[in-house]
Amino acid sequence: MATAIRFARMGKKKRPFYRLVAVDSRKRRDGAYLANLGFYNPFVEPYELQLHDEEIMVWLKRGAVLSETVRSLLKAHGLMLRFALEKQGLSAEDVSAKVAEFRASADVRAQGRADSTARRKSELVAEGVRVKAEAAAAKAAEAAATAAAAKAAADAEAAEKAAAAAAEAAEAAEATTPTAGDGAA
């Protein structure tokens, strides 16, 4: 029987998590499986991965074929290194030491990625705050310019009315004062 180690989808619609299972390769994705080897939840930050290392090693020694995604996760977790070292015939202590060293360096890399992600996120938040502040300042400047233009227009209109009133007053004063050519003499 051709055995495969792959994911079986569980969970609800649009929120899946996956069981890592050993299954007959001819079975459907979510069908009956031979062994439950762990689970993978990609929807938490950082992703949650629980593996039953010893059972996975047993199935790998039996010749189980890994799916591409499972292979990449096992490689990141150090199980593929452990399998390769055991296949080479190294002692259990040497294998454990090298796998522990690999996992420590992987943890350091993961922490670096998490720090970098947090830094980028904080930079994006700061950039968003800066953009909002600039937009608010531009809006305030635009409102001030609009108010100044409205005040200037009102002042110009008031000056125009005052000039018109002064012209009317001058005209009325001219009309009421007798002039030398009116025949008053």
Average pLDDT, 10 consecutive residues per value, the chain (185 residues): 87 91 83 88 86 91 91 90 88 87 84 84 89 90 89 88 85 73 53
Residue 156, H or E segment: helix 92-176
Residue 105 maps to a domain:
no
Q: At what angle do helices 68-77 and 92-176 cross, to 10 degrees?
A: 100
3-state secondary structure of 79: helix
Residue 158 maps to a domain:
no
Q: How high is the pLDDT of residue 180?
A: 60
Residue numbers of the domain that contains 62: 3-89
Cβ 21 vs Cβ 55: under 8 Å: no
Q: How high is the pLDDT of residue 57?
A: 92
Q: Residue 16 forms beta bridges with which residues?
A: 11
Residue 133 maps to a domain:
no
For residue 85, the Cα-to-chain-centroid distance in whole angstroms is 39
Residue 106 maps to a domain:
no
Residue 143 maps to a domain:
no
Which of left, alpha, beta for 179 (phi over 0: left; psi -120 to 50: alpha)?
beta
CATH code for the domain in which residue 40 is found: 3.30.1320.10
Number of domains within the chain: 1
Residue 160 maps to a domain:
no
Q: How high is the pLDDT of residue 39?
A: 92
0.75 exceeded by pTM: no
Residue 128 maps to a domain:
no
Read off the amino acid at residue 128.
Answer: G
Residue with tokens 């969970």: 11
Q: How high is the pLDDT of residue 158?
A: 87
Tokens of 161: 């009315």
